[in-house]
Chains A and B, each alone.
Chain A
Amino acid sequence: MPVTTRSDLLKLLCEAAELEHGIACSYLYAAFSLKRDISEGGMTWEEQQKVRRWAAQIYFVASQEMLHLALVWNLTTAIGGTPYYLRPNFPQDSTYYPLKVPLKLEPFGTRSLRRFIQYEHPETTPIEAEVRELLARAGEDEEEFSFASIGELYGSIRSGFEQIDGKELFIGTPTQQMTPEFVHFPDLVAVKDRVSALRAIDEITEQGEGRKGHRENSHFVAFVTMLKELLESRATGSGFSPSRPAMRNPSAGAGHGYAANPNPIGNPLAGRVAGLFDSAYSLMLRMLAWSFEFDSVDAGPQLKKFCNVAIDFMPRVLLPLGEGLMLMPAGEKYPGKTAGPGFGLTRHVMLPPDAKNAETLCRERIHELAAIAGDLLKQPLPDPVKAGCRHLQAIAGPF
């Protein structure tokens, strides 16, 4: 049904933001789980090259999901809304969203790839017989995949931007729009009118599903190819095992504000690292959301600083902590399993409109996190976790 009011459009944009965000986390979890070194076992040198290629592709797809979130935020502020960064903690079963999308954190494997293929499947075409057969070969999940395509959600959003009078709709300040000048996303579209809004929506759907008749460059085909390669490699019987035995849907532990039904990490040290991950992740999101909300004319320096630090957090703090957690034991309750980051959105305030106050809050928080990282560094930790802690300290230093 076409969308005809600003409020309905904003609600749908929030749903899109939640989904893009949650799906990006799910992809990152799978990428963190892929082994890096041959010494981890289960792969030959040649297979390691394949595994690293898969990891690179999943990280890339996840980065495009983050770009989609950024585009959704630009669409939101262009029509007078504020960037929505909240989302329910993992896991969420298919009853949570109108689209019936289940959101989970699982290591790389046939089960996660099946879900990723479903996330990205094209809106207008039924899944081809070849892909259906591939999904069947990959094994059955406990949940039946019957959710609607995310492309359909964007179809509704598109209808809102097409139907509602542009003069009334675009009430956001143009200088609120984030561009590559501030945040390092080269394809970030500044939304100022219907044409640019539709361009942003097309960019999101084309990257996911591909253009009609040109699916080969889509996330959908990338995951289908990955699943094919994984099944082929397994069929050789070489004992190929590309991923770490990470637990499913971890949480840092009790008292971290989780509302869902996760698996608390039992190992205390891993729980502390997972807690630091969540706190750093939440601070990063708050800084980004603030940057997308306020006018670059009024808050240019803070905005650039927040964006730089937030983007810096991703490869230098979150990635090594996330990968490193998957080298730490999950706890006695999960024999043979390693831990993982829960991507828990810890309870905290939105950053205030006043730029100086916002900076004060961030500065105090980042130094608190650096102190936690310093304490952790006194413990025996896997190398990636140590690197993440040191990088956090290095970023906090000049803040």
Chain B
Amino acid sequence: MSPAKNDFDVVIVGAGVAGAMVAYRLAKAGARVVMLEAGIRNPARPQIAGAYAIAPIKSPHSAYVQIEADAKAPSPDGAADYEQAFPEADRQYKSGYERRTGGSTWHWLGHTPRMLRSDFEMKSRYGGAKDFPLAMVDWPITYDDLEPWYCDAEREMGVAGSDEEWNDLFDSPRSQPFPMSMIWPSYSDMWIAEKINGKKFEGLEYRVRSTPSARNSSLYDGRPPCAGNSICVPVCPIGAKYDGYVHVKKAVDAGAALWEQCAVNGIDKDADGSVHTIRFLTYGNVPGKVSGDIVVIAANAIETPKLLLIAKLANSSGQVGCNLMDHLSKSTYGLAPEKLFPFRGPPSTSGIESFRDGPFRSNWAGFRVSLNNDGWSRKSSPQAQIIQLVTEKKLIGAELQAELFESVTRQVRLSCSVEVTPDHNNKVELSNNTDGLKIPKPKLTFSPSDYSLRGLAHATKTLRDIFRCIGATNIIDPNDADPRAFDGAGHIMGTCRMGKDPSQSVVDAHCRSHDHHNLFIVGSSVFPTVGSPNPTLTLAALALRAAQDVGKQLGIKKQRQTKP
């Protein structure tokens, strides 16, 4: 490594899962690393669960409300918290994020399916059809390039899954077994699987698979197994579910520095095009700066382009902030013909992968289906359901109890997660509005493509068909009211796309900026396309791969990989 002319070897902006993994790997290899985190450190898990319990409105962020942090480093909790270009509900960006040490993984569900081989090759495989979006591209890397890093990320996070069910899904083989055996599917999942496995819809066969998740099915990495507390969102009260704080702590234990409540508001560019100095404001509005040989931006796919746009960096392609993506999500509700006893175990333990790939992707987007274990709680809280029975049906006492037992135990929610296509016009820009530190807020433009909306239509029809197969009644299908309506999936992606061509992309295949040789960008912002799986495992795999490249650039010859 070079003599210490900068404060640190590596400055990492953002202490979420991607930044923390990079920090851990590099600190462990001997590099001097600092993580800058705009947010605060969370209180102990019981306090978070307690805050959620007393919150009048339940949303992921309601467990994390903290007045000063929410003013100085705001954590958007949904569409209403953004400045949006379009007022219409079906043209708004709906997914929020958490600016806290450990990042949004504090309240993620924990699902970790991999992307498929085809997800990396969308243009080559399905391009050319009349209705195929022109902005769909191939990744500069293949599934095979990332596969060893997927295994690495699965070990780091502690992923539980079934080798038998997941090996070679859609020509995407696994080279190593899952670190833990699967989280056992809920009773509801097994019951539904028995009814639908082998049946077909639109020519594709239903097969319910357990969903791989970063949730301990046994003692792993010093953390306990899942105890079925069922409140993974907004927090796992016992730490059985992986979150970014696991690696923040590991990085700090390995010698990395962690500077919290430091909101970055500038990055200086040197005359030779390199970047070394990061400027930030503390919550007391005190400016500070820190320098590193290498800078890694690991905020998220909204905060990262925001910073780059503020600093006017890495944007010779004009692509910074563009191609903002999510997954379109939609839930359908029904009552099963018999009691399935939801609310036991994690909120979702199984899904259907059959619709993620196939020739149909020339014409419409692929999607995943999730079988959920949380009754109708996403539609309205259990308390609201009780109030409704009391006020509308005038039930009380034993009758109320009997009705609740009869209906709540049969509640089923199915949901879909549909691929969103990149679009230059869907973007993050700087707003004229500022946060409590006078740093510009993001302004978002988002409107899903017809290709994605066609996928959404097929997905919701599929959910309806599954309900038909299981003999459900009282079906509530939001499609009946508005077929174009969708929810956010919390999967913020795109905006600093990876590619070979510097005129069309922000970073290269190793997450290094085309414009600045010592600037790396990690996280799901680098995804050129997104497929339909939950993104965290892929972004973790990319971050670990990038950490190796940062290490090489620093002159670290060999980095150790850890096997818990």
Contact = CB atoms under 8 A, between A and B. Distances in A.
Contacts of A221: 219, 222
A372 B225 CA distance: 36
Contacts of A217: 218-222, 564
A49 B45 contact: yes
Given A184-B184, A186-B184, A217-B564, A53 B219 contact: no
Contact of B224 (A186, A187, A207, A222): A222
B173 interface: no
A172 B217 CA distance: 31
B188 to A, nearest CB: 15
Interface in B172-187: 181-182, 184
Interface string A214-234: 101111011000000000000
A218 B221 CA distance: 10
Contact of A64 (B218, B224, B227, B564): B218
Contacts of A186: 162, 181-182, 184, 217
A325 B50 CA distance: 30
A105 to B, nearest CB: 23
A354 to B, nearest CB: 29
A50 B218 CA distance: 18
Contact of A214 (B46, B217, B238, B564): B564
B533 interface: no
Contacts of B227: 52-53, 56-57, 59-60
Nearest to B158: A217
B181 A222 contact: no
Interface in B193-230: 217-222, 224-225, 227-228
B181 A49 contact: no
B49 interface: yes
Contacts of B334: none
A128 interface: no
Contacts of B47: 46
Contact of A53 (B181, B221, B238): B238
B237 interface: yes
Given A46-B46, A49-B46, A207-B218, A56 B184 contact: no
Contact of A216 (B50, B182, B218, B222): B222
Given A216-B221, A217-B218, A45 B46 contact: yes
B191 to A, nearest CB: 13
A164 to B, nearest CB: 29
Interface in A277-306: none
Nearest to B225: A60
A64 B220 CA distance: 14
A383 to B, nearest CB: 13
Given A186-B182, A186-B184, A187-B181, A53 B222 contact: no
Contacts of A49: 45-46, 49, 237
A186 B221 CA distance: 20
Interface string A345-362: 000000000000000000
A76 to B, nearest CB: 23
A176 to B, nearest CB: 21
A207 B50 CA distance: 33
**Which size bracket describes the interface of B in this complex?**
20 to 34
A52 B238 CA distance: 9
A219 B237 CA distance: 20
Interface in B141-197: 162, 181-182, 184
Nearest to A52: B227
Contacts of A56: 224-225, 227-228, 238
A71 B47 CA distance: 40
A247 to B, nearest CB: 27
A60 B224 contact: yes
Interface residues on A, range: 20 to 34
Contacts of B181: 186-187
A393 B238 CA distance: 34
Interface in B521-564: 564
B350 to A, nearest CB: 14
A222 B46 contact: no
Nearest to B228: A56
B419 to A, nearest CB: 31
A72 B182 CA distance: 22
A222 B219 contact: yes
- By CB atoms of chain B within 10 A, which of A64, A184, A216 has the most? A216
B222 A45 contact: no
Interface in B44-76: 44-47, 49-50
B189 to A, nearest CB: 12
Contacts of A222: 219, 224
A53 B224 contact: yes
Interface in A158-187: 184, 186-187
Contacts of A59: 227
A50 B162 CA distance: 30
Interface string A53-71: 1001101100010000000
Contact of B50 (A45, A184, A214): A45
Contacts of B218: 60, 64, 187, 207, 217
A37 to B, nearest CB: 15
A57 B237 CA distance: 13
A113 B219 CA distance: 18
Interface in B344-398: none
Contacts of A187: 181, 218
B204 to A, nearest CB: 25
A127 B218 CA distance: 24
A59 B49 CA distance: 22
Interface in A242-269: none
A50, A57, A59, A60 — most chain B CB neighbours (10 Å): A60
Contacts of B182: 186
A180 to B, nearest CB: 9
A216 B218 CA distance: 12
A53 B182 CA distance: 21
A209 to B, nearest CB: 12
Contacts of B564: 214, 216-217
A184 B187 CA distance: 11
Interface string A64-107: 10000000000000000000000000000000000000000000
B235 to A, nearest CB: 11
A57 B46 contact: no
A249 to B, nearest CB: 28
Contacts of B228: 56
Contacts of A50: 46
A218 B238 contact: no
Nearest to A186: B181
A334 B156 CA distance: 51
Nearest to B224: A57
Interface in A116-156: none
Nearest to A67: B218
Contacts of A46: 44, 46-47
Contacts of A45: 46, 50
Nearest to A50: B46
A184 B185 CA distance: 10
B222 to A, nearest CB: 4
A46 B219 CA distance: 23
18 contacts: A45-B46, A49-B45, A52-B227, A53-B227, A53-B238, A56-B225, A60-B218, A60-B227, A64-B218, A186-B181, A186-B182, A207-B219, A216-B564, A217-B218, A217-B219, A217-B220, A217-B222, A221-B219
Given A186-B217, A216-B221, A222-B219, 16 more contacts: A46-B44, A49-B46, A49-B237, A52-B227, A53-B237, A56-B224, A56-B238, A60-B224, A186-B184, A187-B181, A187-B218, A216-B219, A216-B222, A216-B564, A217-B219, A221-B219
Ordered nearest first, which 5 A-B pairs have the shortest CB separation?
A: A56-B227, A49-B46, A217-B219, A186-B181, A216-B222
Interface of A: 45-46, 49-50, 52-53, 56-57, 59-60, 64, 184, 186-187, 207, 214, 216-219, 221-222
